[in-house]
């Protein structure tokens, strides 16, 4: 029962991250390979705050704030670079971040990570907490359709120059969307840290970003339900194979392979030039 609840919790966390990442992807056309940076910022902020004795709830607030800042920082880069340059830059930031977290031992515990992180509740309580998180991301996803904000995002996704010509303050759009995205993923990171009661840099490697990115493609295709389905395949299956005695590291690599296949398939479906035109 504990294993099933844990797997469900992981699926819901990845769904929440995937849905909000999908909203950014669909809304302003930003395809990031740095989602794990925001997730990790939230997790480390929670761990540092909760372990200082202030309490887990303040830890979640800290994760929300730091995650929001990280998400905003990652999103506003789009004012400078876009398309594949943005994806490549976020990929570079992801690699830099892992290096920083690994080397800043005084703050992050280095490769040994942070053990003994307090939790606000058991797995069941955390799982219940993911439901409003997924619901919030579903609202964000829906809000981008048929509203003025969504229309502004659509113009920005098409062209920065067009947005500027139409008088849209696209920096504000990026700031707004980035802060919401960061807050959700940051809280997701806090819940992950609370559930595992331990974090280290390997939990926020490139593979995690790629898995969230792959789930985001499911969201773009089939909405929130698509995100749940994507999380079931990309998170549920690798978790389930551990029951066959496969190590956690090997299950992680299996997850990476599945996510890679999903991305390659998404390329064939979405990125044909004639389709974009």
Partner 1 sequence: MDLLLLTIQTGFAYGLAGLAVRATLAVSGGFDLFVAIAALLSAELGVTAANAWAVETTAGALAAAGAGVLAAGAAGRLWGQAGTLFGSKGISNLGIFVGSLGALMVAVGLTGVVRGPGLRTMEGIAGQAVELLATYVGVGVLAGLMITGIVTLASLIWLGQRAGYALRLYAMNPYLAQEIGVEEARLHRLGTGYAGLCAGAAGCSLALTGGSTPELGMKAFLYGAGAALLFESREMLAPLPAGLMLGAMHVGIQLVLAPAWAESVMFALVVAVLLWRGTSREVGSVR
- Which residues make up the interface to partner 1 (CB under 8 A)? 31, 33, 77, 80-89, 91-93, 95-96, 99-100, 102-103, 206-207, 210, 214, 249-250, 252-268, 270-274, 276
100 versus 171: smaller Cβ distance to partner 1 = 100
104 versus 124: smaller Cβ distance to partner 1 = 104
Minimum distance of partner 1 from residue 65's CB (angstroms): 24
Minimum distance of partner 1 from residue 275's CB (angstroms): 9
75 versus 130: smaller Cβ distance to partner 1 = 75
The backbone torsions φ and ψ at residue 211, rounded to the nearest 5 degrees and listed phi first, read -65, -45
Q: Which residues contact 100 (CB under 8 A, 6 or more apart)?
A: none
117 versus 262: smaller Cβ distance to partner 1 = 262
Give dist(CA 146, CA 18) in Å, integer: 21
Residue with tokens 């800290």: 62
Please, are residues 200 and 111 in contact by the beta-carbon 8 Å criterion? yes
126 versus 258: smaller Cβ distance to partner 1 = 258
Pair of tokens at residue 75? 């999103």
Minimum distance of partner 1 from residue 166's CB (angstroms): 18
23 versus 93: smaller Cβ distance to partner 1 = 93
Minimum distance of partner 1 from residue 193's CB (angstroms): 22
Question: Closest by alpha carbon to 159, among 270, 29, 275?
Answer: 29
Minimum distance of partner 1 from residue 91's CB (angstroms): 7
Minimum distance of partner 1 from residue 37's CB (angstroms): 12
Please, are residues 101 and 108 in contact by the beta-carbon 8 Å criterion? yes
DSSP codes, 70-116: HHHHHHHGGGT--HHHHHHHHHHHHHHHHHHHHH-HHHH-GGG-EE-
Question: Closest by alpha carbon to 90, among 139, 25, 156, 143?
Answer: 25
Question: Closest by alpha carbon to 97, among 49, 43, 38?
Answer: 38
């Amino acid at each position: 029962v504990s294993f099933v609840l844990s797997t469900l919790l992981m699926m819901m966390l990845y769904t929440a991250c995937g849905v909000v990442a999908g909203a950014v992807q669909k809304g302003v056309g930003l395809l990031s390979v740095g989602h794990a940076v925001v997730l990790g910022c939230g997790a480390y902020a929670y761990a540092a705050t909760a372990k200082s004795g202030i309490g887990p709830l303040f830890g979640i607030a800290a994760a929300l704030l730091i995650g929001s800042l990280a998400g905003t920082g990652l999103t506003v880069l789009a004012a400078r670079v876009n398309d594949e340059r943005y994806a490549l830059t976020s990929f570079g930031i992801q690699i830099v971040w892992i290096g920083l977290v690994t080397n800043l031992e005084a703050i992050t515990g280095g490769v040994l990570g942070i053990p003994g992180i307090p939790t606000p509740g058991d797995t069941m309580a955390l799982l219940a907490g993911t439901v409003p998180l997924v619901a919030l991301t579903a609202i964000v996803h829906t809000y981008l359709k048929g509203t003025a904000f969504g229309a502004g995002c659509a113009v920005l996704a098409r062209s920065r120059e067009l947005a500027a010509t139409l008088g849209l303050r696209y920096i504000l759009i990026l700031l707004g969307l980035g802060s919401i995205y960061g807050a959700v993923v940051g809280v997701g990171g806090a819940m992950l840290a609370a559930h595992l009661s331990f974090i280290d840099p390997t939990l926020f490697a490139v593979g995690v970003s790629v898995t969230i990115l792959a789930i985001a493609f499911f969201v773009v295709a089939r909405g929130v339900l698509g995100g749940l389905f994507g999380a079931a395949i990309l998170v549920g299956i690798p978790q389930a194979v551990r029951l066959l005695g496969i190590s956690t590291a090997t299950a992680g690599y299996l997850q990476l392979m599945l996510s890679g296949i999903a991305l390659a398939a998404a390329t064939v479906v979405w990125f044909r030039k004639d389709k974009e035109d």
